[in-house]
Structure 1
């Protein structure tokens, strides 16, 4: 039986990396697809078997201690390690994704992705369309997920013959025990790729920037996450895409605030308009709105405009626009204006200032009125 180290052309103290490099060099030279000769085929099998033994630390140790070419001891008194026995009974020998008689699949589901998007309050009223640039994994255009150079394909592993795992018999106190481990040559896939795609390095996917078109519904709010199934990263070897999650942040507006599906705003009214009443037009988030102020309107009164709020996330009936009145008292009066105010005070016989119901400031009063209206 040929010496494994001589077959691979390495020294007996060669490192695992040196053994791997030697195997890859010889495999490329002797592979049947490259060198169809019968001698090359036999040498390829010897090289592959030698690598299978020397790349496994336990098998290499037994081989170096005088074991046979398969990695077990030739003498009648030798025993395999107890770890092999426990692996057989408790499934440790089938790690790495390959199970006995069933190879691993190169195709795997891609990872989910999270994208954060910032919206303005205007976008929330009716929803908005956005095109978002995402850095993610996409299908390789060169190999279309096959992981192989164009015109080539994976070949059945000569060591495990497509099973993805190899079995070996170990002598133990319990007799001969058969263990199964992922094939070291094909890594449990059952096939090898002699000519990996040079664009994706045999991964079937590459990193790239792509555009995702999103229709963000109305009614979203800060902290909400929207799920877009199948819009995440493509999986290895062209596996199915993961999902894309969109996390929303809504920026504060200078004029309007939000309470549920309602929009809130404050309208400053001059004292004469508060006394006499007035009609005014304001700009809402989706056009102009006409407001009617009754004579004698008070600070803290709330004017409600039905159906001019936010379209709910699940539903079609919009909320309301609620406008709180804030009467502005003039702070600078000329002599004539002051005389008119004093005359008004005498004529209306306004009561003297007095204690009334406690309020935590004008804006607290407005907030309470908003909630109770």
Structure 2
């Protein structure tokens, strides 16, 4: 058997770092591109040595006298030896009476679950309780998670006598060895359920549909994921439930749009209101609120209503603003009398706006009058 320690030039007590350092040195020394093609076999030998000594399990097997790179060590084909896992288990304690740590408990923790709930914008503003229906495993109520019929309990496995594992003899290159494996009859649990519960068939849990209440915090953002501890899938035989994760989706609102913690809406007003000013009421999430449209308002001007926006997620006492955008409704059809009146007003009010300035970007200090825009639109 090749001595891989000797190939790399290290002691048997060498650390992982020392082995890695020696490998780098030897691989550079015998690389065919550097040393020549005649050292190709030596280079492969160095790589094989590092492959074994850098893997803790393979190194442990090699130290015990088994070469992991030896095709006959795996017990494949007609060699008659046990498989490599059996040989390795022999050297890690399984073959010398140490067992596998005892039987595997039937009670296992449940997995996490994921669900999605859609809320409206108002719920995101103020917070509320949302409800989501989930289908998952729940505790079997008939057997309370034991998996057994009422009045019965698991019995000791007659094959492994409660140990959860069975011993068997295999032939290896070192002779006959004793190995251990989970008992096939009890699947490693050490007990068998002779009279399983008819509802859960011995699993201690059943498929259920539950309605779960989700406390949605005020100010929650779209696509936020909430965690509900122990609200997920119940484990086998009454094991502790996993967590339930809820993805929050916020539905589009017909009146308001959200930008961070601010809400935006658009108010369509007649042109006379924009020119002369007007007070009106709008519906908000806080009820009806008064909005004063200033005289001379231009399209896309805004009116800000303080503290009527979304609640700050980290400060429940503060909220964003509600920004109302002014959308001026300009008539597209005028009677003859209306057109004459408009033209008379335009001649007096927009006498200096006969020429349109063209610019690559918005001009400053030369804001166009409302009736100039109206006149342009009518043209």
Q: TM-score, normalised by structure 2?
A: 0.68
- Check the 8 A contact 1:140/1:199 in 2, yes or no: yes
Alignment of 1:331 onto 2:335: no
Cα 1:80–1:106, aligned 2, differ >3 Å: closer, same or farther? same
Q: Give the 5 Å matches for 1:1-373.
A: 80-83=81-84, 84-89=86-91, 100-316=100-316, 317-350=318-351, 351-355=353-357
Question: Match of 2:365?
Answer: none
Question: Match of 1:71?
Answer: none
- Check the 8 A contact 2:231/2:241 in 1, yes or no: yes
- Check the 8 A contact 1:103/1:165 in 2, yes or no: yes
Q: CA deviation at 1:353?
A: 4.6
Greater displacement, 195-204 / 158-167: 158-167
Unaligned runs of 5+ residues in structure 1 are 1-77, 94-98, 361-373
- Check the 8 A contact 2:94/2:179 in 1, yes or no: no
Q: CA deviation at 1:356?
A: 5.7
Unaligned runs of 5+ residues in structure 2 are 1-78, 363-379
- Check the 8 A contact 1:106/1:189 in 2, yes or no: yes
Cα 1:359–1:320, aligned 2, differ >3 Å: closer, same or farther? farther
Question: What CA distance in whole angstroms lies between the structure 2 residues aligned with 1:211 and 1:220?
Answer: 21
Aligned length: 279
Greater displacement, 138-147 / 339-348: 339-348
Q: CA deviation at 1:357?
A: 5.5
Once the two structures are superposed, residues 201-226 of structure 1 have per-residue CA deviations (whole angstroms, 9 ceiling, x without a partner) of 00000112122112212222332221
SS in 1 for 2:319: coil
Cα 1:356–1:285, aligned 2, differ >3 Å: closer, same or farther? farther
Cα 1:359–1:137, aligned 2, differ >3 Å: closer, same or farther? farther
Once the two structures are superposed, residues 254-296 of structure 1 have per-residue CA deviations (whole angstroms, 9 ceiling, x without a partner) of 2211101111111122221111111111111231111112211
- Check the 8 A contact 1:79/1:173 in 2, yes or no: no
Question: What CA distance in whole angstroms lies between the structure 1 residues aligned with 2:107 and 2:121?
Answer: 42
- Check the 8 A contact 2:116/2:132 in 1, yes or no: no
- Check the 8 A contact 1:227/1:243 in 2, yes or no: yes
Question: What CA distance in whole angstroms lies between the structure 1 residues aligned with 2:183 and 2:218?
Answer: 54
Question: What CA distance in whole angstroms lies between the structure 2 residues aligned with 1:132 and 1:291?
Answer: 38
- Check the 8 A contact 1:308/1:319 in 2, yes or no: yes
Q: CA deviation at 1:115?
A: 1.4
Question: What CA distance in whole angstroms lies between the structure 1 residues aligned with 2:275 and 2:289?
Answer: 22
